[in-house]
Amino acid sequence: MASNDESARRALTRRGFALEYVTLGWNVVGIVVLAFAAVSARSVALAGFGLDSLIEIGASTVVIWELSGVGEERQRRALKLIGVGFTLLALYLLVQSTWVLAVGFRPRHSLLGIGWTAVTAAVMFALAAGKARTGAALDNPVLQTEGRVTLIDGLLAAAVLAGLVLNALAGLWWADPAAGYVLVHYALREVKVIFSGEH
């Protein structure tokens, strides 16, 4: 029985690694795609989403490190690092959204940006669900918490997508920064949960 439990745990751990490596690879490619799209469209939202991909890369790296040697102290440090990532994400969204609204910056249309953010949203939601299930099965709060980082990445992709589509179809340039404030609230809530030990 113990052998079966250990075998199942190893399989779950391998799944956790696989989910993180897919997230890592997707975001590395995403930085390149988003940089090109942001420059072409002069889009602050797309450039900011590229910065978010950097935070997601950092969070995935933290989880890969933590899964390589589970221990309570290591989990605490890993959670704090993810909390720092959430804090940076919230600050970036707050500054970017406020700046875009204040200056009335109007980006060009970006079909590449629309296509990439649409696919990214779907991929990130699927990865977030997988991490939540795997983290719960392993009783691993670090993987579960990073799953919420991935969920925020998906929500941000959807918000950027909505802004790009509304700008392209109706000229509503302010839609993306407005959605950013909703994500600031979500990110700060996760920071509170992590640093208060409520996870």
| Count of the separate structural domains present in the chain | 1
Taking 80 as the threshold, does the pLDDT of residue 105 lie above it? no
Q: How would residue 199 be classed by pLDDT, with cut points 50, 70 and 90?
A: low
Q: 91 with 117: CB under 8 angstroms?
A: no
Residue 71 has a pLDDT of 65
**Interatomic CA distance for residues 147 and 132, integer angstroms:** 6
Mean pLDDT for the stretch of residues 85-95 = 85
Taking 90 as the threshold, does the pLDDT of residue 102 lie above it? no
Taking 80 as the threshold, does the pLDDT of residue 31 lie above it? yes
Residue 167 has a pLDDT of 85
Mean pLDDT estimate for the chain: 86
Q: Percentage of residues in the chain with pLDDT exceeding 70?
A: 96
| Domain of 144, in residue numbers | 2-196
**Interatomic CA distance for residues 9 and 17, integer angstroms:** 12
Residue 26 has a pLDDT of 97
Show the tokens assigned to 57: 């890369």
Q: 120 with 30: CB under 8 angstroms?
A: yes
Mean pLDDT for the stretch of residues 6-30 = 94
pLDDT (tens digit per residue) in 40-79:
988 877 887 888 888 788 888 888 887 887 567 777 777 7
Q: How would residue 85 be classed by pLDDT, with cut points 50, 70 and 90?
A: confident
| Nearest-10 Cα torsion for 187, 83, 78, 160 | 40
